[in-house]
Each structure stands twice: as structure tokens, then as C-alpha cells.
Amino acid sequence: MIVSYFVNDILTACKEDFAAKNYTIITSKCKGPNYPAKVCCSAFKDFACPFAEVLNDEKTDCASTMFSYINLYGRYPPGIFANMCKEGKEGLDCTNVTATSSSHASIPFVSTHALLITVFILFRLF
């Protein structure tokens, strides 16, 4: 028996231009071969939390697009952030994370506790 999975809804293109973002906030801190979880997860949150609202929108491809660029520029092992960056059932806590890079200026900071969807999507992609 072959079981297949079909996506019922087609994802819409992300309106945030993740191709033009500056990923050095992650790539300058999260380095292998050991990839220290505390450093990598902090850098990931610094980058991703300002985009939490668009990343948590299940109707867009924003999360998968962002992770594609993170992996492209950082050459990280598949699923690295999904596997080591966990803060509970609600996902990553972005409450005390502020936008520190000019690359985040186009999206206002949205305080949220829900980067869970993003991490879940990443985990399912890899």
C-alpha cells in the first residue's frame, strides 16, 4: 500500500523579500562543526523573530523560503534549527527579541510566542 500526502491548499508567494536579507546575524555566530545550540538559537531568533507574523502564516511559503536562504548562505545541516531550538509547545519565544539589523526595517517587530509553525515546517521539509 502506498500512502501519499497532498497539500490541499497551494501556498502563496511570500511578500517579504528573504532573498535580499542580511543573513550574517546567523552565519557570523552559528558556526560548525559543533554548532553551539545557545549561540545558534539566539542568532536564529534575532533574525527570524522580527518576521514572526509572516513566518507563521501557513498560507504563504515565507517559512520555507527563509529557511532555504539560511541553509544556502550558512550551509547548515538539514533541520539544525528545528532540532535544537525548542522552547516549549508554543514554539520560540520572541517576546524579548528586538530587530537589530537594518535588514529587518521593512517589517515592524511583532511580539509573539509562535514560531512553532516555522520550526515545524522546517522539520517537515528536511
The domain ranges of the chain are: 36-125
3-state secondary structure of 100: coil
Residue 8 has pLDDT above 60, yes or no: no
Residue 77 has pLDDT above 80, yes or no: yes
pLDDT of residue 90: 74
As a whole-number percent, the residues of the chain with pLDDT over 70 amount to 70
pLDDT of residue 100: 52
More confident site: 113 or 97? 97
* C-beta separation of 94 from 113 below 8 A: yes
* C-beta separation of 46 from 100 below 8 A: yes
Lowest mean pLDDT segment, chosen from 36-45, 72-81, 96-105: 96-105
pLDDT of residue 9: 59
Residue 24 has pLDDT above 70, yes or no: yes
pLDDT of residue 88: 77
Residue 73 has pLDDT above 60, yes or no: yes
* C-beta separation of 80 from 37 below 8 A: no
Total Cβ atoms within 10 A of residue 37: 15
